[in-house]
């Protein structure tokens, strides 16, 4: 059997929220969103994106919640409500030293055109 290796392309992929976990790092508490690709060559692959749960409407967290929920979130809600919701993710290839990894850089509403895969 011959196998040809190739790189995952940075780009936009259809996904769903598989889980959200609260974690702590050097800059405090953050949420780790695990996304599962739902179409194409990477179907069933999982990638993560992190975001601080900042309560301001101008934050990345608020933007992500609005995109995932398809509307502006209520003043209070449970992050558990978004498990299984669909969205598009922008998957970005990153390097740290000689280590290569991929993470979710941004979200795009589920009803917008998918450019990758």
Collapsed DSSP state (helix, strand, coil) of residue 97: coil
Q: pLDDT tens across 85-100, in order?
A: 999 999 999 999 999 9
* pLDDT at residue 5, as a whole number: 87
Q: pLDDT tens across 43-96, in order?
A: 999 999 999 999 899 999 999 999 999 998 888 888 888 999 999 999 999 999
Pull the structure tokens for residue 25.
């790092």
Q: Which fold has domain 11-108?
A: OB fold (Dihydrolipoamide Acetyltransferase, E2P) (2.40.50)
Which of 35, 28, 26 minimizes the C-alpha distance to 90?
35
Burial zone of 80 (CB within 10 Å; 0-12 exposed, 13-18 middle, 19+ buried): exposed
Q: pLDDT tens across 29-41, in order?
A: 999 999 999 999 9
**All structural domains of the chain with their residue ranges:** 11-108
**Residue 11 in contact with residue 90, Cβ under 8 Å?**
yes
């Amino acid at each position: 059997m011959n196998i040809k290796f190739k790189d995952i392309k940075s780009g936009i992929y259809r996904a769903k929220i598989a889980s959200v976990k609260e974690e702590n790092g050097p800059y405090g508490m953050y949420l780790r969103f695990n996304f599962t690709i739902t179409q194409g060559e990477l179907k069933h692959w999982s990638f993560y994106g992190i975001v601080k749960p900042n309560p301001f409407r101008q934050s990345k967290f608020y933007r992500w919640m609005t995109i995932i929920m398809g509307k502006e979130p209520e003043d209070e809600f449970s992050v558990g409500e978004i498990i299984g919701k669909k969205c598009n993710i922008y998957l970005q290839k990153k390097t740290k030293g000689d280590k290569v990894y991929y993470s979710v850089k941004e979200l795009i509403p589920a009803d917008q055109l998918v450019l990758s895969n």
